[in-house]
């Protein structure tokens, strides 16, 4: 198969040890790279542990719409060893910081309150009706099994008519849970932005996620980290690879996450499918792997 002019199809890798050894810091995605929403990936966690044992620093950079302690609890529940990472930067924590800085007094909350209770309890703003709100804050769909974007169409149109800002605590459009894809807050934020509404996005691929992750890594290491010594690892072109490109960082693409049906056949990377996912203009990656492995 010929490669289209300007295409940046990443080479297919079986092992990442030699590549990882070139870097001091990893910004590693969680869902789809470290675990599948149910179980940890042993080869991935082994690679991260080996990287740390050689003096590297691992920042888990996740679009989970919850505070850090909840991310830690979710990792523990999925048997992700704490030795696999140094720290976590979550979109939920970044969104909470914005809510505090904006001093919203009343918000209209969209999301599953039980699942995202830790976020909801830390908002520091009252949850009120749309007509009294100063912003819409979204952590996800209330029922991500049955709801669609159209379920929220009336709310989004009313919020737009009121010129309310939309705070998106998870920019992902979908998430892979045990092999099934579910809509995320980013799908509603994208629809609101299409209506002409103003959206505050927190998490990947937006700059605050990467500046925060870099500052956190530098605090841990006690030294400045050059961009060329940071590698981003992720499974999403729209967030992980695009965010790495915007931040001027190298990236490693994991195909076994949300793009697995577009890139893989019978559990292995299909070169033709991979090329189709990387037409000219697609954010680049140094390599593509079915799963992270040393």
pLDDT tens across 268-293, in order? 999 999 999 999 999 999 999 999 99
| Final residue in a domain of this structure, among 167, 201, 235 | 201
| Final residue in a domain of this structure, among 201, 236, 255 | 201
- Co-location of 241 and 153 in the same domain: no
pLDDT tens across 56-77, in order? 999 999 999 999 999 999 999 9
pLDDT tens across 127-140, in order? 999 999 999 999 99
- Co-location of 175 and 265 in the same domain: no
- Co-location of 84 and 219 in the same domain: yes
Query: What are the angstrom distances between the C-alpha of 63 and each of 45, 98, 162, 223, 265?
Result: 19, 15, 28, 26, 27
How far is the C-alpha of 79 from the C-alpha of 77, rounded, in Å?
5
Give the end-to-end CA distance of the chain in Å, rounded to a whole number: 29
Average pLDDT over residues 3-8: 57
Residue 184 lies in a domain: yes
Number of domains in the chain: 2
Residue 6 lies in a domain: no
- Co-location of 136 and 126 in the same domain: yes
- Co-location of 26 and 55 in the same domain: yes
pLDDT tens across 103-153, in order? 999 999 999 998 899 999 999 999 999 999 999 999 999 998 899 999 999
- Co-location of 217 and 121 in the same domain: no
Residue 3 lies in a domain: no
- Co-location of 169 and 249 in the same domain: no
- 89, 90, 92, 94: CA torsion to nearest 10: 40
Whole-model pTM: value is 0.87
- Co-location of 228 and 241 in the same domain: yes
Q: Which of 129, 28, 139 is nearest to 80 (CA)?
A: 28
Instruction: List, as one string, the DSSP characters of 210-249.
Output: HHHHHHHHHHHHTS---GGGEEEEES-IIIIIHHHHHHT-
Residue 153 lies in a domain: yes
For 138, the domain range is 93-201
Average pLDDT over residues 27-46: 95
The pLDDT score that the predictor gives to residue 6 is 55
Residue 193 has pLDDT above 80, yes or no: yes
| Final residue in a domain of this structure, among 143, 171, 201 | 201
Average pLDDT over residues 181-185: 88
Q: The tokens of 94 are what? A: 């970044």
Q: Each residue of 154-184: b (16+ CB within 10 Å) or e?
A: ebbeebbeeebbbbbbbbbbbbbeeeeebbb
Which CATH number does the domain housing residue 43 bear?
3.40.50.1000
């Amino acid at each position: 198969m010929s490669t289209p002019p300007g295409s940046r199809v990443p080479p297919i890798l079986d092992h990442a040890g030699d590549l990882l050894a070139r870097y001091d810091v990893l910004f590693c995605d969680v869902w789809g790279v470290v675990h599948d929403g149910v179980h940890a990936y042993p080869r991935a966690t082994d690679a991260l542990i080996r990287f740390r044992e050689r003096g590297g620093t691992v920042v888990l950079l996740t679009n989970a719409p919850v505070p850090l302690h909840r991310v830690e609890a979710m990792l523990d529940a999925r048997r992700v060893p704490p030795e696999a990472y140094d720290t976590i930067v979550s979109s939920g924590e970044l969104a909470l910081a914005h809510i505090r800085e904006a001093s919203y007094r009343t918000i209209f909350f969209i999301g599953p309150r039980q699942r995202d209770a830790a976020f909801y309890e830390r908002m520091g703003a009252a949850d009120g009706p749309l007509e009294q709100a100063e912003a819409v804050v979204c952590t996800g769909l209330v029922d991500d099994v049955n709801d669609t974007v159209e379920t929220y169409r009336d709310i989004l149109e009313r919020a737009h008519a009121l010129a309310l800002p939309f705070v998106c605590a998870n920019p992902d459009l979908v998430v892979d849970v045990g092999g099934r894809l579910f809509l995320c807050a980013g799908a509603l934020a994208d629809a609101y932005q299409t209506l002409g509404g103003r959206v505050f996005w927190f998490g990947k691929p937006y700059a605050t996620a990467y500046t925060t992750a870099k500052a956190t890594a530098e605090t841990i290491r006690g030294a400045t980290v050059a961009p060329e010594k940071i590698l981003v690892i992720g499974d999403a072109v729209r967030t992980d690879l695009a965010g790495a490109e915007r931040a001027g960082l190298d990236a490693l693409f994991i195909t076994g996450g949300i793009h697995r049906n577009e890139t893989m056949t019978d559990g292995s990377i299909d070169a033709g499918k991979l090329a189709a996912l990387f037409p000219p203009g697609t954010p680049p990656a140094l390599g593509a792997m079915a799963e992270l492995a040393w």
